[in-house]
Amino acid sequence: MSSCLVVSALGTDRPGIVTDLTEAVLANGCNIEDSRMTVLGGEFAVIMLITGQWNSIAKLEGALPTLQEQLQLTLTARRTAERAPLTNAIPYTVEVVAIDHPGIVHDLAEFFSARNINIHDLFTGSYHAAHTGTRMFSLNMTVEIPGDTHIAGLRDQFMEFCDQLNLDAVIEPIKV
């Protein structure tokens, strides 16, 4: 039976951070089951779900303070359990593009949470439009829609909501 540990790391971006972190996980007999890694501004950020035998996880936890100092990263860790499989929920993908302005993520999160829809993954970014240079915003997320939700009605509400906020959006089932 394996144990689970979520580890997050934040520090100044430099080549080799991923190598150093993954080497520590491997050296302690653990496995990275899921992760997200990115550069935000001048900082490197990572969050990993690490699995292993209870003693391997404990060994890795014990090594984190030394690793934090050696790699000059801020590390946090938390034990967790494996996530239960989805029951009675349908995964959908949501894509949004708009002229960037404050509050887009909040407004979208509020729309879904008000309908008891869980956000499973969320990625955002910004870029400059090709010809005008206008700062644009993009969002991709996976939501888990309860099985008893009327999908056509939800889609209509979502599209009306996006029209009111001048968001170009798509919501569709994830195709496996």
Strand, coil or helix: 111: helix
- With a cut of 80, say whether residue 1 has pLDDT above it: no
Rg from Cα positions in the chain:
20
List domains and CATH numbers for the chain: 3-80 (3.30.70.260), 89-173 (3.30.70.260)
- With a cut of 90, say whether residue 84 has pLDDT above it: no
Q: Is the pTM here over 0.75, yes or no?
A: yes
Q: What is the pLDDT of residues 121-163, one digit of tens each?
A: 999 999 999 999 999 999 999 999 999 999 999 999 999 999 9
Distance CA 87, CA 144 (A): 10
- Mean pLDDT for the chain? 96
**DSSP code per residue over 54-88:** HHHHHHHHHHHHHHHHHHT-EEEEEEE-PPPPP-S
- With a cut of 90, say whether residue 85 has pLDDT above it: no
pLDDT at 175: 84
pLDDT at 87: 81
Q: What is the pLDDT of residues 103-132, one digit of tens each?
A: 999 999 999 999 999 999 999 999 999 999
Q: What share of the chain is helix, strand, coil (3-state, %, to 5)?
A: 30, 45, 25
pLDDT at 164: 98
Distance CA 33, CA 25 (A): 11
pLDDT at 86: 74
Q: What is the pLDDT of residues 61-74, one digit of tens each?
A: 999 999 999 999 99
